[in-house]
């Protein structure tokens, strides 16, 4: 799994998932991974991308990359702490 700049270990599409379930699914996915692995999260524009991005940083993970996709959703790439 990869996108242009990053070799991804997992990707999860949370388009249509509101708060806080998008964060719950993100945390469940991160819990399956080991430190240093990369997760891509696809999130809706607006509150979802703002809240989930902030929460994963508050939990100590590295937010490596954030890019809006052509359909308006966001791809957020996180390195698990």
Nearer to other proteins, 26 or 75 (CB): 26
d(CA 19, CA 63): 19
d(CA 81, CA 79): 6
Nearer to other proteins, 18 or 46 (CB): 18
Q: Residue 5 Cβ, how far from other proteins at the closest point, in Å? A: 28
Contact footprint for other proteins (CB under 8 A): 20-21, 23-25, 27-28, 31-32, 55, 58-59
Nearer to other proteins, 32 or 50 (CB): 32
**Nearest in space to 6 (alpha carbons), one of 33, 29, 41, 39:** 39
d(CA 24, CA 29): 9
Q: Residue 27 Cβ, how far from other proteins at the closest point, in Å? A: 6
């Amino acid at each position: 799994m990869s996108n242009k700049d990053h070799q991804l270990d997992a990707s999860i599409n949370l388009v249509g998932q509101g708060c806080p379930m998008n964060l719950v699914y993100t945390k469940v996915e991160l819990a399956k991974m080991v430190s240093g692995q990369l997760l891509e999260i696809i999130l809706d524009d607006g509150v979802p991308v703002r809240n989930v991005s902030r929460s994963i940083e508050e939990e100590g993970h590295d937010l490596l990359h954030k890019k809006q996709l052509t359909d308006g959703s966001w791809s957020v790439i996180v390195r698990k702490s």
